[in-house]
């Protein structure tokens, strides 16, 4: 068993060092982007935000969309029904919005997720005058320069789309909420300068011509994941998806353990259905990390109880943890530089993103196991069954 542990530990150390190198590159890219002048590109933008139900800070999130410093945009808030609890808040925000804001009702979905149905209905009604489509989520609170920074790189027609990512900020002190924030944090560094990036539905911009040429609406037909389906469509164009870390979006969260498992299980199952290579790579890497740690702890305790030296085992057990903590710290530095107005608050919760992050792979293992035995999820009160990328069944 010790030989197996040595092999796993060495793999973890080598892999950890490589991931630190990638984290340093990611941080350098964040700093370069933060010092990039976005220019004066100001096309006519349709900002689309699907809404459903109540969530922490909903009205403040929607107001943040109306306060963007882009000069030429209109907002389209889309709900399935006027009976939605969020409808009154959305209408109030739209009424008081400085840019023109519309409130649309899309009706109940059939064969796709409610979010996709909302977006499809809104886009089908858009006047031809809009040159760029921007997608936002109602649980995000973007900075005032978010829209301009997200749209500006599209002046380069070689880019298929720009995208960013959320950063969860705990709204309470519960362990479940902290675990959710720690669980989500590594996703931020999956998006890189030159990597095969994917679109995030809460912050993606693309030219309307690209949207139509890529036939995104066709890929959304019978799909559940708006962002993964859009990514698949855009990959066919051969153009890159540009990650813009200066547009990182805060999302204030609060959950209990049932909600934590619902969210994390859903995200991993969606990844398994829509991005199997990412799912498999992540499953193997998390399994090896957890196996190495558990095996190292058990061997160290066994030698300790037998009175044998444990320094070598303890060192090899703790070294992958140290490397993971360093990666978390580098990620945290980049996020605080991308979100300077929230640096103090994010830094005050650094233990979540650096220390608690060390245990997150065990939560991921539970999510991976769940995705192997179930194809059903619950999302915003609706149960779906994911039969395939283009087959979604509404259960209830």
Answer yes or no: are the C-beta atoms of 392 and 223 closer than 8 Å.
Answer: yes
The band of 365, judged by pLDDT with boundaries at 50, 70 and 90, is very high
Neighbours of 280 (CB within 10 A): 13
Taking residues 349-355, report their average pLDDT: 96
Terminus-to-terminus CA distance in the chain, angstroms? 48
Neighbours of 321 (CB within 10 A): 18
Taking residues 248-268, report their average pLDDT: 97
The arrangement of strands across the sheet holding 241-243 comes to 101-105, 73-79, 45-50, 132-136, 203-207, 161-163, 241-243
In this predicted structure, what is the pLDDT of residue 262?
97
In this predicted structure, what is the pLDDT of residue 279?
97
In this predicted structure, what is the pLDDT of residue 265?
98
Taking residues 104-118, report their average pLDDT: 96
Percent of the chain with pLDDT over 90: 98
Write the pLDDT tens digit of every residue in 221-251: 999 999 999 999 999 999 999 999 999 999 9
Taking residues 44-72, report their average pLDDT: 96
Query: Which of 192-196, 262-266, 268-272 has the least mean pLDDT?
Result: 192-196
Taking residues 215-224, report their average pLDDT: 97
Residue 396 has pLDDT above 90, yes or no: no
Answer yes or no: are the C-beta atoms of 277 and 288 closer than 8 Å.
Answer: no
Taking residues 386-394, report their average pLDDT: 96
Locate 116 and state its tokens: 């996709």
Write the pLDDT tens digit of every residue in 338-349: 999 999 999 999
Closest to 288 in 3D by CA, of 19, 58, 83: 19
Answer yes or no: are the C-beta atoms of 270 and 377 closer than 8 Å.
Answer: yes
CA 338 to chain centre: 16
Write the pLDDT tens digit of every residue in 269-326: 999 999 999 999 999 999 999 999 999 999 999 999 999 999 999 999 999 999 999 9
In this predicted structure, what is the pLDDT of residue 314?
96
The band of 195, judged by pLDDT with boundaries at 50, 70 and 90, is confident
CB under 8 Å to 178, separation ≥6 — which residues?
170, 349, 352, 356
Please tell us whether the domain made up of 32-257 is placed in CATH 3.40.50.300: no
Write the pLDDT tens digit of every residue in 121-151: 999 999 999 999 999 999 999 999 999 999 9
In this predicted structure, what is the pLDDT of residue 153?
97
The band of 71, judged by pLDDT with boundaries at 50, 70 and 90, is confident
Place of tokens 């991931």: 19
Sorted by where each begins, the domain ranges of the chain are 2-26+275-394, 32-257
């Amino acid at each position: 068993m010790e030989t197996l542990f040595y092999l796993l530990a060495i793999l973890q150390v080598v892999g950890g060092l490589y991931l630190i190198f990638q984290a340093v590159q990611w941080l350098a890219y964040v700093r370069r982007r933060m010092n990039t002048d976005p220019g004066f590109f100001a096309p006519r933008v349709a900002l689309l935000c699907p809404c459903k139900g109540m969530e922490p800070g909903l009205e403040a999130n929607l107001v943040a969309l109306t306060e963007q410093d882009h000069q030429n945009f209109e907002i389209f808030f889309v709900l399935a029904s006027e009976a939605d609890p969020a409808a009154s808040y959305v209408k109030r925000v739209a009424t008081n919005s400085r840019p023109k804001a519309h409130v649309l009702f899309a009706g109940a979905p059939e064969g796709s997720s409610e979010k996709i149905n909302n977006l499809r209905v809104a886009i089908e009604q858009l006047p031809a005058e809009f040159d760029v489509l921007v997608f936002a989520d109602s649980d995000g609170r973007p900075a005032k320069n978010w829209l301009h920074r997200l749209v500006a790189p599209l002046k380069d027609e070689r880019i298929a789309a720009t995208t960013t990512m959320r950063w969860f900020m705990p709204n309470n002190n519960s362990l479940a909420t902290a675990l959710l924030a720690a669980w989500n944090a590594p996703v931020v560094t999956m998006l890189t300068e030159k990597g095969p990036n994917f679109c995030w539905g809460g912050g993606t911009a693309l030219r309307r011509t690209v949207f139509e040429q890529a036939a995104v609406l066709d890929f959304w037909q019978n799909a559940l994941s708006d962002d993964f389906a859009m990514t698949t469509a855009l990959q066919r164009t051969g153009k890159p998806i540009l990650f813009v870390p200066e547009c990182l979006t805060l999302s204030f969260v609060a959950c209990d353990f049932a909600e934590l498992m619902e969210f994390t299980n859903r995200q991993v199952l969606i990844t398994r259905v829509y991005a199997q290579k990412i799912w498999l790579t992540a499953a193997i890497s998390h399994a090896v990390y957890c196996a190495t740690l558990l095996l190292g702890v058990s061997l160290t305790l066994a030698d300790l109880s037998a009175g044998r030296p444990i320094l070598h085992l303890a060192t090899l057990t703790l070294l992958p943890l140290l490397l993971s903590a360093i990666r978390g710290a580098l990620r945290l530095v980049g996020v605080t530089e991308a979100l300077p107005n929230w640096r103090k608050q994010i830094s005050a919760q650094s233990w979540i993103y650096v220390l608690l992050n060390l245990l997150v792979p065990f939560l991921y293992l539970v999510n991976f196991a769940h995705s192997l035995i179930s194809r059903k999820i619950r999302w915003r009160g609706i149960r779906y069954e994911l039969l395939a990328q283009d087959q979604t069944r509404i259960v209830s």
